[in-house]
Structure 1
């Protein structure tokens, strides 16, 4: 059976996701404790990446953004050493609003379901 082609960028994207998540979890910064890396988008030329994250406690969102801004260079250099690519990847950290919206939609669907059950 012939294996499907797998782009190098896809392999590196998955590796980048894992390594960023590991770096964040190993940071001593208390703001890093409530962060989950949800997705990584990597450009085809492997030079730019958007790293999407969520936070457990949204009241700390601004502090988390500040943490990423101040640690971006550190994370970038660690990733460059770990992946051994020709160019260090430019990282952009983006708050992932999808999870929050999905939770809201599920809440509304449950509410509608409950209202239908009450009216029966």
Structure 2
């Protein structure tokens, strides 16, 4: 039972942060088009790693990650109000390049197929 709770809390965090980004609740112009790919929550529910993918050039990715780091306090406060937990998890944003890697692999496979 305890193994399922971090996964469920991670899904809730993913939904809520996605909603914040979708509805432009985070008013930082540096944050571009961001997709939340995954959320890992520690077993004690005190830490959450939010993995994001940014579909832009390298400079826009860096600016978006900086904007997200600056918005951590706001996001954490909003999560504390929306998700009722004893302790609101500390949030860490991590860049996820798995979509880019998948695209490269797909292109290589297409080239091999030809």
**Could you say whether these structures have the same fold, taking a TM-score greater than 0.5 normalized by the shorter chain as the test?**
yes
| CA displacement, residues 12-59 of structure 1 (integer Å, 9 cap, x when unaligned) | 111111001111222333333410000001111110011001011133
| Residue 16 (str. 1) matches residue 46 (str. 2) | no
- Whole-Å separation in 2 of the counterparts to 1:32 and 1:102: 23
The structure 1 segments of at least 4 consecutive aligned residues displaced by more than 4 Å after TM superposition are none
Higher helix share: 1
**Structure 1 gaps, min length 5:** 115-120
Q: Which has the higher contact order (CA 8 A, sep 6+)?
A: 2
Partner residue of 1:35?
Answer: 34
- Whole-Å separation in 1 of the counterparts to 2:88 and 2:17: 13
Partner residue of 2:108?
Answer: 108
The structure that has the greater radius of gyration is 1
Q: TM-score, normalised by structure 1?
A: 0.84
- Whole-Å separation in 2 of the counterparts to 1:42 and 1:6: 11
Equivalent residues, number: 111
Q: TM-score, normalised by structure 2?
A: 0.88
- Whole-Å separation in 1 of the counterparts to 2:61 and 2:109: 27
Question: How far is the alpha carbon of 1:5 from its aligned partner?
Answer: 9.1
Partner residue of 1:83?
Answer: 83
